[in-house]
Amino acid sequence: MFRNIFMLLLFQISITATAQQDAWIYLTDKPNVASSLANPITILTQKAIDRKQHHNIAIDERDVPVNETYIADLKTQTGITVMAKSKWFNAVHVRGTEAAISALDVLTYVDSIDFADNSLNSGSREFHVQDKYDNFEQQVVFNYGDTQNQVEMINADNLHVDDFTGEGITIAVMDSGFPNVNTMGAFQRLRDNGDLLDGYDFVTRNADVYANTASSHGTRVLSDMAGYIQDQFVGTAPDASYYLFLTEDVSSENPVEESYWVEAAERADSLGVDMINTSLGYRVFDNSNYDYTPADMNGQVAFISKGASIAVEKGILVVVSAGNAGATTWQTVGAPADSPDVLSVGAVDANGNYVAFSSQGGAAQVGYQKPDVVARGGASYVVDQNNNITQNNGTSFSSPILCGGIASLWQAIPYASPTEVMDYVRQSASQYNAPDDLLGHGIPDLDVAKDIALSLDENLRPEFTMYPNPVADELYIQFPEDDINAELNIYNQLGQRILNTNVTNTFNTVDVSFMAPGLFILELNSEGISKTYKLIKK
C-alpha cells in the first residue's frame, strides 16, 4: 500500500514537472526608443499618427516594438515556445514547463515572469497594471428587411438617413473565424467599395484570415455591422472600413488567446484603426489553474482587460460583448468587458427586455457600471457563412450591432474623442439616470447622442456634406451657414485628379455624368479645413 502511494506521488511530481505552463515574460528595455519617437513614421502608419494627433494622444515608448533580438534569444531557450508578443506590455507570451520558464529569470533582459497559473507567482497579477495618463437633406433610405428592429432600436436608422453610415471610420474585428467573407454576397458591397481592408490569423500566423474555417462566428458578427443584402438585411455601419483579426482558438481555451488579442489590438493601433469590436470573453480555461474568478473581473487582473484599457488610452474606442453568463453561477461580465475603459454591451430581446443569458454587473466593478449599455442580442438577425439570413442569441451580436451604430454616430461628430463618444452614448440611453446591473444605462438612442454632442460643442458640427451617394449624374454639396466657398477635387483609384472646381452655397451642383462607374475620392477644402469622402459613381 505504502509503495503504491509512493509511486503515485512520484507520478504526480513527474506530471507537475513536465506539465506545460503559460506565462508572460516582461522585458527590461526596448531598442532605439528615442529615435523611434523622434521619427514615429518608422513604427506607425501615417493614419495612426494622424488619429493620435487628432485626439491629442501621445506617442510614447509603448508604441515602440519589442526587441526582436531578445525574442530571437528566447526562442533558443530549452523547454519553452514563444507564442505571442506585446509591445504595449513589452512582454512575450511563452509556453513550457514551470522549470524552463522559471529559468528564464536569469537572462539579463528579463524583468519579471508572470505565470497564467497565479499559484505559481510569488506576487499578484496586478503587479503589471500600468497607471492611467489620465439637420441635413435626406440622402440614404434603406429597406432594412430583417434587421429593421435591431437597427431602429438604437435609432441608427436616423443617422443613416442623414448619410452617416460609418464612412471614414475604420473598425478592427477580433474574433474566431471569417469564412467566406471574401466571396459571399452579403459582403459584396463592402468589397466593391474597397472597405474590406486586410486581415490576419494570429492563431496560425497566417495572412489568409479566411482559410481558417473552424468557426464562422466572426462572419456572423461582421454581418451585423457590414452586411448588406438589398431589401433584406442592412448592418449598422455598411460603409465603414474593416480589418479582420482572428485571435480566438476554438480548439482550446488558453490564456495565450488573450495575448493574441493584445497583439491584434497593437496592430490595429499601428494601422490607425478607430474602433475595435470584440465578441469574445475569458473566464475559465482548459487548465483550471489559469481560471479567473468573478472577484478578478475588476479590469486590473486579466491580461486582455489591461490591454483593452491601453487600446482606449491610445485613442481606440473599444466595444465588447458583456458575455453570456447571466444565468450561470458566474453571472458577472467576463474579460475584457470588465475594463472600466471599454464600452461593454449586454443583450435585450426585440421588445427591449433583458434576456436571462446576458452577463450582469458585479461586486468587482467598484465605482463603475457594467454592462455599460444594451442592444438586441436575443434572436438577433445575422448572415451566416453560407449567405443565409438567420437568427442567433448572444451578446456576441448586441456588441457589433451597437459598434456599427456608434461608427455611424462618430462619422457625424468626427471631432469627438473616443471617451466623449462613449459618454454621449451612455447619456442617450433609456435609464441613464438609474443604471442597474442588468441593463446598465439601458438602450442608447444614437440620434439623441448626436444631438447631445452637437449641443455641447460647436466644433463637432460637420463642415459640409454631399448627396446622393452613390451618384448618377448630379452631385449636391451642402454647406454650413458660414462657409461661402470650397475647392472640390475628385480623384480616381490611381490617385489621378479628374475634376477640380469651386462650389459655393449658391452654386453647389457638380456634374459628374462624364465619370465612369466605380469608386472615387472626393476632397473638399475650405478655409483651412480639408475633408475627404468616398464617392461611388453608378
Q: Which residues are catalytic?
A: 175, 217, 396
**What values do phi and psi take at 281, rounded to 5?**
-155, 150
- Tally Cβ neighbours within 10 Å of residue 403: 31
Helix 446-456 to helix 418-428 angle (10° resolution) is 120
CA–CA separation, 479 vs 501, rounded Å?
A: 16
Which CA distances in Å does 171 have to 239, 250, 406, 462, 500?
A: 11, 23, 11, 21, 31
- Tally Cβ neighbours within 10 Å of residue 253: 17
Name beta bridge partners: 441: none
Q: Give the 3-state secondary structure of residue 345.
A: strand
Q: Give the 3-state secondary structure of residue 312.
A: helix
244, 245, 247, 249 alpha-carbon torsion, rounded to 10°: 50
Which CA distances in Å does 8 have to 4, 16, 18, 468?
A: 6, 12, 15, 76
For residue 480, give the C-alpha cell: 454650413
CA–CA separation, 79 vs 21, rounded Å?
A: 11
Which CA distances in Å does 335 have to 279, 343, 410, 435, 436?
A: 11, 12, 25, 21, 19
Nearest Cα to Cα of residue 109 among 27, 31, 24: 27
The answer to whether residues 404 and 225 touch, using CB atoms and an 8 Å cutoff, is: yes
Cis peptide leading into residue 238 (ω within 30°): no
Nearest Cα to Cα of residue 21 among 90, 101, 125, 104: 101
CA–CA separation, 1 vs 51, rounded Å?
A: 70
Q: Determine the Cα angle at 145 with ends 376 and 195, to 5°.
A: 80
Residue 72 one-letter amino acid = A
Residue carrying C-alpha cell 463637432: 460
- Across the beta sheet with 170-175, the strand order is 196-201, 241-246, 170-175, 275-278, 317-321, 343-348, 373-376
